[in-house]
Amino acid sequence: MTTESTPVTTPSAPAPKASARAAKSAAEPPMLTGSGAILASLEKLGVTDVFGLPGGAIMPFYDELMASTAIRHILVRHEQGAGHAAEGYAAASGRLGVCIATSGPGATNLVTAIADAHMDSVPLLAITGQVFSSSMGTDAFQEVDITGITMPITKHSFLVTDPADVPGVIAAAVHIATTGRPGPVLVDVTKDAQQKSAPFIWPPKVDLPGYRPVTKAHGKQIQAAAQMIVEARKPVLYVGGGVVRSGASRELLAFAEKTGAPVVTTLMARGAFPDSHRQNLGMPGMHGTVPAVLALQESDLLIALGSRFDDRVTGKVSEFAPGAKVIHIDIDPAEIGKIRHADVPIVGDAREVLLDLLPAFEAAAAQQKPDTTDWWKRLETLRAQYPLGYVDDPDDGLLAPQAVIEAIGKLSGPEAVYAAGVGQHQMWAAQFIEYERPGAWLNSGGAGTMGYAVPAAMGAKVAQPDRLVWAIDGDGCFQMTNQELATCTINSIPIKVAIINNSSLGMVRQWQTLFYDGRHSFTDLETGSTRAGEETRMVPDFVKLAEAYGALGIRVTQPDEVEPAIRLAMETNDRPVVIDFIVSRDAMVWPMVPQGVGNSSVQYARDHAPEWDEE
């Protein structure tokens, strides 16, 4: 062996042949491994941030990822955290969220987040490694049929066994996830497909027979809807999360102001229409405002925009809005007529439909002026009689949880992002924070996933680093995914976490109080005080836990400590912050429509129901 270098000589052969070879070489696609093709495809598609956790079956891709300068990988502590972080990233920014896991339990740990994204129409790409194709079907180590498992909870699931297929599949997956009704798509790639090489052809040919989302509505349906709106005397714009996903908030504002119709925004649509707007009646449904619930119930026309008549909104379906006709606008034709008959069904993107519907309404209104004067008198009466409220001085001497959440919203403002867990604190966060813009409110509405808040807030902060991001969590929810605080600390993602600590599974406890004679069966988590001044166990101690993760931990037990703690959290940006608010466990979420009854049974406090027009 010699270290002597060999001089490179300039070829004296005629140039034309060399040039031809060079041109031919330049025209040939590069040879990439399947894992290299995954990375190159993501880069071509503009992906800049991914959340994941490596393992045996996805190691070839992680080896490629290590050298990437275009994509930031954030190593989570649990795959569920990767999935929710990708959801929060997508929901806050409107961009695609990407999560990565290995085969077997790594892949199945993503399932909850995938189901969550499916229910809430979040554009999500999940990439999983799979065992060698030759081992599939043999019950090999860490083998699971993840494409089969996720088929009912994704828009599509791909299995890739040939590296040549990678560019086309990744491109198709992103196209499916982000078009039509957004949702999750899973791509499972075998380890040998990641290791073998094939020509990398970009852009690939994407062939999706039968997948052609309809975004433009039929003109006759638009005309029919416009005429129905001008004839209505009690119309309501029933706005769902589809308006947020389609980016239709500006068009909604223009349409609402032109029609003068009241607006209700579902849990998923908080922020789609400004809370400060006079026409906004608030959130409908099980824990909606009395004006919003009764507006739907007494309406003669529901203009449903990207909303799916969820059971938490309708209550007992047969008693829901009995006198109302329905215009149902949704990009997913499967939703129209699924729960409630649509008198005018309109398949299309909410934004594009509103752009067409506005001039059609103006033309119809020129011939027949709509009159909603009496309707607004009724609604204003309801709004004056039944405002949202709460008891600010609970009998146990602990903090009122609603006051804490309201203070967070007032001090942080509408430009902040608020990600909630699931339970009482979720409903209070929906009720007592004012949302003025889409993307400010993130939550698990359809699946109701406890543990969503912390990783979702982490993802939102990565997507929008200049925004203040809060995770408003319960003491039960927080214990499911709080390990992602380590991810936040190590990756300089300074989220704020407000634990609304009532030392119990609050919403279950509320139902036990109301419907199970106060028998609180296994809902005491022993994480906080049950009465001011009492010595009780705190397992775990959330302040010490926060400090162990490198976060700033603060405990608040007195009303005068609330605001200073929130301000300190807002001023601390070199690490995450966790505030343990010790709140009353007897506080309840009101108003409430008990499950299984009609919305006419809404109560604004325990055993207190409003009087309403039954005609």
Q: Give me the phi and psi of 243, to 5 degrees please.
A: -70, -40
Q: Give me the phi and psi of 433, to 5 degrees please.
A: -110, 135
Based on the residue annotation, tell me whether 542 is a catalytic residue of this protein.
no
d(CA 580, CA 474): 10
Based on the residue annotation, tell me whether 320 is a catalytic residue of this protein.
no
**Which residues are bridge partners to 605 per DSSP?**
608
Query: How far is CA 337 from each of CA 304, 340, 556, 562, 603, rounded to the nearest angstrom?
Result: 11, 5, 49, 47, 29
Q: Which of 80, 130, 191, 309 is catalytic?
A: 191
Query: How far is CA 342 from each of CA 2, 325, 523, rounded to the nearest angstrom?
Result: 82, 7, 41
Three-state DSSP class for residue 161: coil
Based on the residue annotation, tell me whether 141 is a catalytic residue of this protein.
yes
d(CA 331, CA 351): 10
Q: Which residue has the tokens 């079956």?
A: 57
68 burial type by CB count under 10 A (0-12 exposed, 13-18 middle, 19+ buried):
middle
**Which residues are bridge partners to 125 per DSSP?**
98, 185
Q: Which of 286, 480, 507, 592 is catalytic?
A: 507
Three-state DSSP class for residue 319: helix
Write out the H or E segment, with its range, that includes residue 357.
helix 350-367
Q: Which of 61, 64, 79, 335 is catalytic?
A: 79
Closest of 129, 133, 204, 131 to residue 166, by C-alpha: 204
Residues ≥6 apart with Cβ < 8 Å to 54:
62, 100, 102
d(CA 462, CA 484): 13
Neighbours of 511 (CB within 10 A): 16
Residues ≥6 apart with Cβ < 8 Å to 427:
287, 507, 589
Q: Which of 132, 142, 258, 464 is catalytic?
A: 142
Strand order in the sheet with 325-330: 280-282, 263-265, 235-239, 301-305, 325-330, 344-347
Q: Which residue has the tokens 């997913």?
A: 332
Question: Position 391: which residue type?
Answer: V
Quote the distance between the C-alpha of residue 392 and its chain's center: 31
**Which residues are bridge partners to 184 per DSSP?**
124
Residues ≥6 apart with Cβ < 8 Å to 16:
none
Residue 607 — left, alpha, or beta (φ > 0 → left; ψ -120 to 50 → alpha)? Answer: left
Query: How far is CA 144 from each of CA 98, 116, 351, 529, rounded to the nearest angstrom?
Result: 21, 20, 40, 44
Burial track 474-501 (b if 16+ CB lie within 10 A, e otherwise): bbbbbbbbbbbbbbbbeeebbbbbbbbb
Residues identified as active-site: 79, 141-142, 191, 507
